[in-house]
Structure 1
C-alpha cells in the first residue's frame, strides 16, 4: 500500500475513535508525526476529502465533516409520503449507544435545510442501535437547539420524539424521506460490524413540526441482515 494511503487509513481511524473531533492538526505537524513530506500528507487528505470525512478551508485548516445532507432536502416541503419503521420478528431487546453528542455551529447546507441562522447552535448526534446485543443501525441526527432545547444524554438513551411531544409539547408533522443503498463506510465497519463490501440501507430524513417548521435532518444506516423496514401509514 502507498504511504499516503496508509496515512489516510490511520487518520481515518483517529477520526472514528474521536481522537480528532473538530479539526485535524496542521499539515506540517502531520508530516512531522508520520515522518514524511507535506506533499504525501496532501495526497492522504485528498483521500479523506473524497470520502467526505474532512474539508480543508484555505487559511483556516482542515475540519472534520458531519454527515452530508442530500441536496433534495434543501428546498423540499412536507410531503404525503408514508413513514418507514424498523421492525423485528418476535421479542427483541433494542438499546441505544451514544457514539457522539455535540453542540456546534451549522454548516451552510444545514442552515438552508433547517431554515436557521449561521450563528445558531445545532445538536450533532450519532447513535448506535443495538438489537439483541448486536449492532443493527447507525443514526446521524442534526437538530436546531433553539427549536428543540434541553436534549441530554438521558433523552438520547430513550426517545427524542417522545421528549419533543411529551416534554416540549410540540406537535410533530410529516417528513420527507429518501431511501438509498450504499456501500459500507468506515463508520459502518466500526459501529455496525460491516465488512467493506457489505451493503447498507440508508434512510435520509427531513422532519417537520405541524406548522411546517423543519426540526431534524438525519440519516439512518441499517445493516442488511438485522431487522427490516416496512411502510406504515402514520407517524410513530
Structure 2
C-alpha cells in the first residue's frame, strides 16, 4: 500500500530538521519551493507542514514565514499530537508498531452507538479491540467502532497493519474533524492483563469521534495507555 505523498514529504523535511540542515534562526523555504523540489502540489506541502507543526518541529509566524522550533526539552519519542489524524504507525514508525487483535466482530449497533455514529439499528458496525505494541512492548489498547458501509471489506490483515492507511489510501476517504476527550481513568482487567498495569496505576484514556469531510462519522473509539508510557501533546502557536 503506497504511502501518502504528504507523509513522504514530511519525513524528508523531518530528517533535514534533525540533521540541522535548516537553522532555527532562519525561515524555511516557502511551500512553493518545496512543491517544485519534490514534484508535488502546494497543498501536499501544506499538509506536510501542518503535520510537522503538530509534532512541535516547526512553527509559523504571520508575515514572517515558517521556522524550525529547535529542541523541546520536555519532548519524548512517544509524545502524540492530540490533534493528529495519521494513525500510530505513521506517528511512531511502521516497523516499530505491531498490532494484536483482541476482538473483531460485525454486529448491530446499540442505541448509544447509533447515536455516536449516526446509524440506524439495522446498519452493522465493526467492533474492534487491538493491542498496539511499540518496540515490542505493549503501549495502547484501542477499542473502535466503525460503520461497515463506510469501511467495507475490513479484515484481519488490515487490522494487523493500519486501518487509517486503508481508509485514506485504498478507500480514498478523508477525515474532516474530530472531537476528543482526554482524561484519567482507573485500570480495568484488560489494562492489567495486556498493558502490565498495576491495580493502582492511573490510565490515560482518549475518547473520540472522527467525521469525514462530508460530515459522516466514521469512527468512535476509546484508547487507553498506562500513565508512564504515552503523552498527548498540543503545540500552541500565537501567530499574531
Shorter-chain TM-score bucket reads: 0.5 to 0.7
> TM-score by structure 2 length?
0.59
Q: Counterpart of 2:174?
A: 171
In structure 1, the partner of 2:148 is 145
Cα deviation for residue 116 of structure 1 reads 0.8
Q: Is the 8 A contact 1:96 1:129 kept in 2?
A: yes
Shift of 1:227: 3.1
Alignment CA distance shift 1:106-1:226 (3 Å): same
**Any idea what SS the aligned residue of 1:211 has?**
coil
2:82–2:232 CA contact under 8 A, matched in 1: no
Q: Report matched runs for 1:88-127 at 5 Å.
A: 93-127=96-130
Equivalent pairs counted in the alignment come to 152
Deviation string, structure 1 residues 108-156 (Cα, Å, up to 9, x no partner): 0001111111011100000001122211110000001011111111111
1:198 to 194, 201, 212: 201
**1:214 and 2:207 are equivalent in the alignment:** no
* Structure-1 separation of matches of 2:212 and 2:118: 13
Aligned to 1:31: none
CA distance in structure 1 between the partners assigned to 2:150 and 2:235 by the alignment: 27
Structure 1 149/183 Cα, relative in aligned 2: closer, same or farther at 3 Å? Answer: same
Asked if 1 retains the 8 angstrom alpha-carbon contact of 2:209 and 2:221, the reply is yes
For residues 171 and 201 of structure 1, what CA distance do their matches in structure 2 show? Answer: 27
Distance between the aligned counterparts of 2:229 and 2:94, measured in 1? 14
Unmatched 5+ residue regions in structure 2? 1-80
Partner-residue secondary structure (3-state), 1:164: helix
- Aligned Cα root-mean-square deviation (Å): 2.4
